[in-house]
Amino acid sequence: MKNRQTKPDPESVAAWAKLVRTSGTLLTNIEAQLKQNGLPPLIWYDVLHEIAQAGATGLRPFEIQQRMLLEQYGVSRLLARIQKQGLIERVDCTVDGRGHSVAITSTGLQMRRNIWAVYGPAIERVVGAGLSKSERAVLIELLGKLTDAD
């Protein structure tokens, strides 16, 4: 396979830098709001959301890793911290007696709601109030082009 070196267009570099900076700034702001409200980091919400969406059977750790594009070692430690707080529990895997799934507990469901009570309004303040409905549609379309470009 030939390695193609192409010099990026200056506007491409500027767009990339703006996208990364904006994403970082917005996530940092939301993380700060969660912390101010005594809530865990945003990634906990993402994990709890994925597990809750899977239903009563939960997810196997490798499925969480794949869905969230995380490293295996990071997932194991993250799940251990979340489990220690009683938000998830290990469940024997019915398909493979050697493995296990992770299911959300009632405490985890409540924590997910508590995080969303801060996270949801933060999204609305940043995106909803910052962009018109048509601008949001354009943003969705443009970002879709980037993620579907592979």
pLDDT in tens, 98-123: 788 999 999 999 999 999 999 999 99
Query: Helices 42-54 and 106-123, interaxial angle, to 10°?
Result: 120
Residues 110-143 as b or e (16 or more Cβ within 10 Å = b): ebbebbeebbeebeeeeeeeeeeeeeeeeeeeee
Give tens-digit pLDDT for 6-54. Answer: 888 999 999 999 999 999 999 999 999 999 999 999 999 999 999 999 9
Q: Taking the model in full, what pTM does it have?
A: 0.85
pLDDT on residue 83? 97
What pLDDT shows up at residue 4? Answer: 65
Q: Output the pLDDT for position 113.
A: 98
pLDDT of residue 103: 95
Q: What is the pLDDT of residue 99?
A: 81
Share of the chain above pLDDT 70, in %: 93
Domain boundaries, the chain: 34-147
Domain covering 34-147, topology: Arc Repressor Mutant, subunit A (1.10.10)
